[in-house]
Amino acid sequence: MAQLAPEQQHEYSPRPLLHLLTIASRNMRVRLAFGYVFLVTVLLLAAGGIFRAALNNSIDREARALLTERWGGVRGYLTLSEGRPIWVYESGDSVQVEAVNRLRRRLLIADANGNLLEISDRFPLADLETREALRAAAVLAEPAFESRTDNEDREYLIRRGPFPHRDTLLVLALAQPLEGIHRESRTVIRWFFWTLPALIALLGALAWQMAGRALLPLRQLSKAAEVVSSETLSLRISPRGAGDEVDVLTVQFNEMLDRLERSFERVKRFTIDASHELRTPITAIRGQLEVALITARTKEDYRAAIETAMEDVERLSKIVRSMLLLSQAESGQVSLQMLLLDLSSAVKEAAGHFELPAAAKGLKLSVVAPEHCMAQVDPIQFERLAMNLLSNAFKYTRPGDSISVTLSRFESDVVFTVADTGPGIAAEHLPYIFDRFYRVRDDGHDADKGIGLGLSFVQWIAQAHGGNVEVRSAEGQGAAFVVTLPAGDTASSLRVLPID
């Protein structure tokens, strides 16, 4: 037997077709269109079956009603003479003649003993009407209906039963052919199912178009996602205005791009600011050492240069430690150790560290707090929060200004406020006041106000405790930082958040 070459065997392999079917089945548009077509096809088939059953029931009801009507017509025209049926009508009345002929076309009359008195030649299968069957029909309570098929497979509906006529009991049977009516119904059903493939094909085309239109926004989202990068984060997709799930997804996609764009901007600004902060002390250290190498002649010269460089090294070390701690906080490596703490004592103790410096600077420092104010906090982080806010207020106030520290309890929250009467913060600085390395500089007084991470830590600590911090300030009217923390047992809902 001849065998196919390997190339021919590969050509006739069903695997490529199966692979194509597998790929098509994974296509959402194909699945949606197929689902539409399958669902509507099932509905059409079910509707066709229901219509066919309803049509057959309607035909059966009409045939029964017609036989019942003719049964009453027989009573109007039939009489008995010497035990024999006689039809009484006006022979000159064409309507009566036609009615009697229609009644006698498929009719059987017998007496109560089963003896045939009259039978039409069109009555189907008269040999089944035996004497026993006719006697059994005579004792029925009311006429009964029966379906019957003749030798040529033509279907009839027969009404047979007792037919009292005056003092005589007769048996009457009337037949109604159903073949013509069923033929018409079968033609209708046949046309329905013959046109069904064309309807399904048309439905498939419409479903394919509908699925394509429904998935168009998703394709736009997919294309937008393909081109998203740090240079194209400003890309946005316009919602269709339909208010459906796709519009919701589009809005969420745009909001995600907004968050990514803000995050990239923060990272970019952080990189620039960090580079600047690190470059300044490094440049100073290098310049001092170079000057020492060129000009120093004695031990004292070298020692002075080294001491000055060490101050900048310490500043550099402080920046690196703060950046490391901030990085750990962002990555969730800093967890809170929650304890029940009296915040009144903690606030008073933190303010106590600034009493002497404030007095030396000519500042007025006041603390207003209840005798006890208990809350679940991390003692170390809360102390850092309070010290950063107090240090920030101390740096940006001038002799004669005042700093007020208040602690209060409102239902389930604790509100901690540090306010000063200093120069305040201009409106253009307020949106960025908690950003890393962001500082409001005053060239006329203490140009260097630190490394710009204190308020970022304050915001992270407040959010990590499930609270928040806000700033209220106007230029020339001082500044107030308000921290709101949960006062109750919030250990079950604590979260460590990255700095926003």
Interatomic CA distance for residues 470 and 459, integer angstroms? 9
Fold of the 25-216 domain: Beta-Lactamase (3.30.450)
- Average confidence score pLDDT of the chain: 80
Cα 52-54-60 angle, rounded to 5 deg: 105
Has residue 415 got a pLDDT over 90?
yes
Interatomic CA distance for residues 329 and 457, integer angstroms? 9
Q: Does domain 336-493 have CATH number 2.40.40.20?
A: no
Q: What is the pLDDT of residues 360-395, one digit of tens each?
A: 889 999 999 998 899 999 898 899 899 989 988 888
Fold of the 245-329 domain: Helix Hairpins (1.10.287)
Residues 6+ apart with CB under 8 A from 380: 337
For residue 80, how many other CB atoms are within 10 A of its CB?
16
For residue 284 the two structure tokens come to 């100073």
Interatomic CA distance for residues 185 and 177, integer angstroms? 14
pLDDT given at position 7:
47
pLDDT given at position 420:
92
Nearest to 93 by CA among 109, 77, 106, 113: 77
pLDDT band at 8 (very low <50, low <70, confident <90, very high): very low
CB-based contact 363:401 (threshold 8 Å): yes
Has residue 16 got a pLDDT over 70?
no
Amino acid letter, 118: E
**Higher pLDDT, residue 287 or 180:** 287
pLDDT band at 319 (very low <50, low <70, confident <90, very high): confident
pLDDT given at position 1:
42
pLDDT band at 484 (very low <50, low <70, confident <90, very high): very high
CB-based contact 459:420 (threshold 8 Å): no
Beta strands in 95-227 (DSSP E): 107-111, 116-119, 144-149, 155-165, 168-177
Cα distances (Å, whole numbers) of residue 141 to 75, 138, 175: 18, 9, 20
CB-based contact 125:138 (threshold 8 Å): no
DSSP secondary structure string for all residues of 138-153? HT-SS-EEEEEE-TT-
For the residues 282-287, what does the mean pLDDT come to? 80
Share of the chain above pLDDT 90, in %: 11
Beta-ladder partners of 419: 404, 480
Residues 6+ apart with CB under 8 A from 420: 393, 396, 397, 401, 402, 403, 404, 478, 479, 480
For residue 192 the two structure tokens come to 């329905």
Has residue 491 got a pLDDT over 60?
no
pLDDT given at position 243:
72
Has residue 449 got a pLDDT over 70?
no
For residue 292 the two structure tokens come to 């020492």
Answer positive or negative: Cα dihedral of 374, 375, 376, 379: negative
Residues 6+ apart with CB under 8 A from 140: 161, 162
Cα 357-390-428 angle, rounded to 5 deg: 120
pLDDT given at position 494:
42
Has residue 414 got a pLDDT over 80?
yes
Which range (10-24, 400-414, 443-457) has the least confidence?
10-24
Q: Give the torsion through C-alpha atoms of 346, 349, 350, 352, to 10 deg.
A: 160
Nearest to 436 by CA among 271, 313, 264: 271
For the residues 471-478, what does the mean pLDDT come to? 87
CB-based contact 170:111 (threshold 8 Å): yes
Which range (9-23, 125-139, 291-305, 344-358) has the least confidence?
9-23
Which range (101-115, 242-256, 337-351) has the least confidence?
242-256
For residue 16 the two structure tokens come to 């490529």
End-to-end CA distance of the chain: 77
Cα distances (Å, whole numbers) of residue 70 to 23, 27, 122: 66, 64, 16
Has residue 412 got a pLDDT over 60?
yes
**Higher pLDDT, residue 230 or 263:** 263
For residue 37 the two structure tokens come to 């077509």
Q: What is the pLDDT of residues 431-442, one digit of tens each?
A: 888 877 777 765
Q: What is the pLDDT of residues 190-246, one digit of tens each?
A: 787 788 888 888 888 888 888 777 777 777 777 777 777 666 677 777 776 777 777
pLDDT band at 333 (very low <50, low <70, confident <90, very high): low
**Higher pLDDT, residue 115 or 451:** 115
**Higher pLDDT, residue 321 or 78:** 78
Which range (38-47, 239-248, 257-266, 465-474) has the least confidence?
239-248
Residues 6+ apart with CB under 8 A from 361: 394, 397, 399
**DSSP label at residue 10:** H
Q: What residues does each domain of the chain span?
A: 25-216, 245-329, 336-493
pLDDT given at position 184:
73
For residue 258, how many other CB atoms are within 10 A of its CB?
13
Q: Which of 159-163, 186-190, 473-477 ranks highest by mean pLDDT?
A: 159-163
Interatomic CA distance for residues 145 and 160, integer angstroms? 7
pLDDT band at 443 (very low <50, low <70, confident <90, very high): very low
pLDDT given at position 365:
92
